[in-house]
């Protein structure tokens, strides 16, 4: 009840005040009541405190159980006391959380706020585990060693760390690995795989059971798999093959999020079921949406690609690795996306121990209509290299990224990247590199090893056999249908034929110039919308290659970038750039060069001799695309411009341009940079130092500690290599005694 000056005893007047005033008055009255000294002791519920490690929910339950036992309080007073003590008797950390709530908040709101804060709190890491949660901070420009920091708490919201779980399971499996050295033991979290050539007996299972149970890990009997097919992390494994489990991949794509989830779900198994880059390239335009909200319309091409991918996932298989058979790495020169096959050759007459596995595999791989199910190549032809009557069993397919790392990636660079990926994957599977690398023709292989530095680096330390022998079979027939280019049509030396000069300028036009029948011909190309200086120069090169596809030509350009592009783009992989105009020029240029029947040469020129040799045509092309057209300049003006660039001496100008000695000296003396320079000392040899006691090198050192004789002159006799030092009061040359 409210007390004070005024008619507060009237109930009608008290009802006019807000409820918060009544609650505040009740809390103040209760605190005053509890603080009054008297013979009675404080009620027992007032001493209920939250323990340091006690959850807030348990503390509230304990507090509410103590308040109803006090008979002196009414029901309304008990609620007010319960709310007040829920805040006052809580520990300091809890009060810091509750202080953000309004005064009208209920106890249920207080409990929800504390529980939410506990969920977002980062639990502490045990001291001995801190070293496993560490990160380094590098210094700027490597000025100092990197600083290493250890986590004191786990990431937000993480109650148990996968790293700690892995370490604990590894610790529990350590006795088993020690006893069974030849058994393969894989574990990820709580999924454990045991593998060996022999079958596991009941005694072996009991040993595993007892060892793990002694470490606190219990095995569920219903999860033990002893017979094939074994199911492990999404894979269905038999004695000879491995394939994905029955998975449901959502192909109803409505927006960008659905497309991203679909492509992410198939990445884990594409190297087993042979989902090529061509299969995925059809779906790449669906990823170009800038927002996740717009709806996606699937055309027939998209639906067909999705159907082909899902069929490969459902029917695709791969062989299991045979321990006593070497690995082989086959490379396919696909037109748009080269790929490779990592597998093993297995004899078909029972010489290998894996004959039963091969028979089982042949039963699994009877579907020849599905390309995703082709994981065996049967050689029935007269192949070379001892491969007659053998079966090539596919272990994995190796693909390059769909988009090359560079705008233009040469074919040899892509093959070198495949070789590195294949050798690295072979080491992961078997512990050693493949036994052989077949796949290319002999002429192309020799040319690539001579001309391609990346391929040389890829096979530099390879100890296996690099050859061009190819097996027979239905799958290999598809693989070898992609032809290898023996040598490019580009020559490093000029050819006998027409010389064409190309250039582009800021006037939004490109030009090509060539000499024909004692006259200079020209062709000007006007720029399009979105053209830049880069695309204009490339369009001139593309037009030149398309015009003379069956004649020998020499292309001269002042852009080193496009000279290199023309050299690399033949039979190269092209990245899908963001600039559509640049991509629309790269593709026609590659097609024009691939369709050529005559050799050609590309020359880079950056000469300032405007009227001599190849520079004459280059100068004409520059003038045609320049924004300012000037009249013919005199020889004297040309000489002054040339001297401002290179600052030649008078004799050089006389020889270069045919001026008289007086005219050449006048040009040099008129130059502000060269006029104050003397003729120099010439290039003669000084006679000093040839004989003994003829000093050649001297220097002075200042040593203030020597007082008046602080000048120390160091002299070297070049003939005898004798060095001596002398202190003196002055540093003049005349004070030196030789």
Locus of tokens 């290039």:
683
Q: How confident is the model at residue 363 (pLDDT cuts 50, 70, 90)?
A: very low
How much is the pLDDT for 352? 45
Q: Any idea what the Cα angle at residue 198 is, between residues 193 and 204, rounded to 5°?
A: 65
What's domain 18-120's superfamily in CATH? Retrovirus capsid C-terminal domain (1.10.1200.30)
Q: Is the dihedral of CA 29, 31, 36, 39 positive or negative?
A: positive
How much is the pLDDT for 687? 53
Weakest mean pLDDT among 120-134, 308-322, 467-481, 516-530: 467-481
What's domain 498-625's superfamily in CATH? Ribonuclease H-like superfamily/Ribonuclease H (3.30.420.10)
2.60.40, 3.30.70, 1.10.10, 1.10.287: CATH of 635-669: 1.10.10
User: Cβ of 46: how many Cβ atoms within 10 Å?
Assistant: 18
Tens digit of each residue's pLDDT (9 = 90 or more) over 467-496: 776 666 666 666 666 667 667 788 888 899
Residue range(s) in the chain whose domain bears CATH number 3.30.70.270: 162-226
How much is the pLDDT for 8? 60
Residue range(s) in the chain whose domain bears CATH number 3.30.420.10: 498-625
How much is the pLDDT for 176? 92
Can you read off the two tokens belonging to residue 476? Answer: 């290999």
How much is the pLDDT for 158? 55
Longest dimension (CA), the chain: 129
How much is the pLDDT for 601? 92
User: HEC string of 535-598?
Assistant: HHHHHHHHHHHHHCCCCCEEEEECCHHHHHHHHHCCCCEECCCCCHHHHHHHHHHHHHHHCCCC
Q: How far apart are CA 155 and CA 121, in angstroms?
A: 9
| pLDDT(260) > 50 | yes
Q: Are the CB atoms for 501 and 622 separated by under 8 Å? A: no
| pLDDT(380) > 50 | no
Q: Are the CB atoms for 77 and 29 separated by under 8 Å? A: no
Q: Is 423 left (phi over 0), alpha (psi -120 to 50) or beta?
A: alpha
Locus of tokens 């300012």:
628
- CATH class, range 162-226: alpha beta
How much is the pLDDT for 400? 92
Q: How far apart are CA 672 and CA 647, in angstroms?
A: 10
Quickly list DSSP for 343-390.
Answer: EEEEESSS-STTHHHHHHHHHHT---S-GGG--EEE--S--SSS-TTE
Average pLDDT over residues 551-562: 87
Q: How close are the terminal C-alpha atoms of the chain, in Å?
A: 117
HSE-up of 650 (CA within 13 Å, CB side)?
Answer: 17
- Angle, helices 202-214/162-179, rounded to nearest 10 degrees: 130
More confident residue, 253 or 444: 253
Locus of tokens 């390239």:
281
Can you read off the two tokens belonging to residue 694? Answer: 């003829």
Residue range(s) in the chain whose domain bears CATH number 1.10.1200.30: 18-120
Tens digit of each residue's pLDDT (9 = 90 or more) over 196-214: 888 888 899 999 999 999 9
- pTM comes to 0.60
Tens digit of each residue's pLDDT (9 = 90 or more) over 504-526: 876 678 888 888 888 888 888 88
Residue range(s) in the chain whose domain bears CATH number 1.10.10: 635-669
Q: What is the DSSP letter of 530?
A: T
CA distances from 85 to 45, 91, 105, 108, 537 (A): 9, 11, 14, 14, 82
Tens digit of each residue's pLDDT (9 = 90 or more) over 683-721: 444 555 556 666 666 778 888 888 888 888 888 777 777
Q: What is the dihedral of CA 252, 254, 260, 265, to 10 degrees?
A: -20
């Amino acid at each position: 009840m409210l007390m004070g000056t005024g008619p507060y005893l009237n109930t009608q007047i008290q009802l006019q005040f807000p409820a918060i005033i009544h609650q505040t008055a009740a809390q103040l009255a209760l605190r005053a009541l509890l603080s009054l000294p008297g013979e009675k002791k404080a009620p027992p519920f007032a001493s209920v405190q939250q323990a340091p490690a006690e959850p807030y929910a348990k503390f509230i339950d304990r507090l509410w159980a103590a308040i109803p036992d006090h008979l002196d309080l009414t029901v309304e007073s008990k609620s007010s006391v319960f709310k007040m003590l829920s805040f006052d008797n809580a520990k300091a950390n809890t009060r810091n959380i509750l202080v953000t709530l309004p005064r009208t908040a209920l106890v249920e709101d207080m409990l929800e706020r504390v529980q939410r804060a506990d969920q977002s709190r980062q639990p502490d890491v045990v001291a001995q585990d801190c070293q496993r949660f560490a990160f380094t901070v590098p210094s700027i420009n490597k000025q100092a060693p990197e600083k290493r920091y250890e986590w004191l708490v786990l990431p937000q919201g993480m109650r148990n760390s996968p790293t700690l779980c892995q370490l604990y399971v590894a610790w529990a499996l350590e006795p088993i690995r020690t006893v069974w050295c030849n058994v393969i033991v894989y574990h990820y979290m709580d999924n454990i795989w045991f593998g060996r050539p022999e079958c596991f007996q009941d005694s072996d299972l009991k040993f595993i059971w007892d060892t793990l149970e002694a470490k606190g890990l219990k095995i569920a009997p219903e999860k033990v798999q002893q017979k094939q097919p074994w199911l492990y992390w999404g894979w269905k494994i038999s004695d000879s093959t491995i394939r994905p489990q029955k998975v449901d991949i959502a192909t109803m794509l409505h927006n960008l999020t659905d497309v991203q989830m679909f492509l992410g779900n198939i990445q884990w198994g594409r190297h087993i079921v042979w989902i090529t880059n061509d299969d995925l390239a059809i779906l790449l335009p669906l990823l170009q949406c800038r927002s996740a909200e717009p709806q996606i319309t699937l055309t027939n091409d998209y639906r067909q690609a999705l159907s082909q991918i899902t069929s490969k996932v459902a029917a695709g298989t791969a062989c299991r690795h045979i321990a006593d058979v070497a690995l082989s790495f086959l490379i396919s020169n696909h037109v748009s996306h080269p790929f490779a096959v990592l597998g093993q050759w297995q004899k078909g007459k029972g010489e290998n121990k894996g004959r039963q596995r091969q028979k089982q595999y042949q039963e699994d791989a009877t579907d020849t209509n599905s390309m995703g199910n082709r994981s065996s190549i049967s050689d029935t032809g007269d192949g070379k290299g001892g491969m007659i009557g053998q079966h090539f069993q596919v272990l994995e397919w190796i693909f390059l990224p769909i988009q090359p790392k560079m705008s233009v990636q040469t074919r040899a660079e892509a093959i070198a990247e495949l070789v590195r990926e294949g050798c690295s994957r072979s080491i992961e599977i078997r512990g050693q590199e493949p036994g052989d690398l077949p796949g290319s023709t002999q002429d192309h292989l020799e040319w690539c090893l001579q001309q391609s530095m990346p391929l040389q680096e890829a096979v530099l330390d390879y100890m296996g056999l690099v050859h061009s022998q190819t097996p027979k079979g239905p799958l290999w027939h598809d693989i070898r249908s992609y032809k290898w280019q023996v040598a490019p049509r580009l020559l490093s030396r000029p050819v006998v034929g027409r010389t064409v000069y190309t250039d582009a300028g800021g006037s939004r036009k490109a030009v090509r110039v060539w000499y024909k029948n004692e006259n200079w011909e020209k062709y000007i190309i006007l720029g399009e919308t979105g053209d830049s200086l880069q695309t204009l120069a490339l369009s001139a090169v593309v037009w030149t290659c398309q015009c003379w596809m069956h004649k020998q030509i020499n292309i001269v350009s002042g852009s080193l970038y496009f000279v290199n592009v023309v050299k690399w783009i033949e039979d190269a992989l092209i990245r899908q750039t963001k600039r559509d105009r640049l991509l629309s020029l790269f593709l026609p240029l590659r097609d024009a060069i691939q369709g050529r029947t005559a050799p050609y040469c590309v020359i880079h020129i950056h000469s300032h001799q405007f009227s001599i040799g190849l520079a004459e045509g280059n100068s004409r092309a520059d003038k045609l695309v320049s924004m300012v057209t000037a009249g013919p300049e005199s020889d004297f003006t040309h000489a002054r411009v040339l001297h401002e660039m290179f600052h030649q001496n008078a004799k050089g100008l006389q020889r270069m341009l045919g001026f008289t000695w007086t005219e050449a000296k006048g040009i040099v003396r008129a130059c502000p940079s060269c006029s104050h320079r003397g003729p120099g000392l010439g290039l003669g040899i000084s006679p000093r130092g040839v004989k003994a006691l003829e000093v050649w090198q001297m220097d002075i050192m200042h040593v203030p500690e020597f007082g008046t004789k602080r000048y120390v002159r160091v002299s070297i006799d070049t003939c005898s290599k004798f060095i001596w030092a002398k202190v003196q009061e002055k540093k003049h040359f005349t004070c030196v005694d030789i």
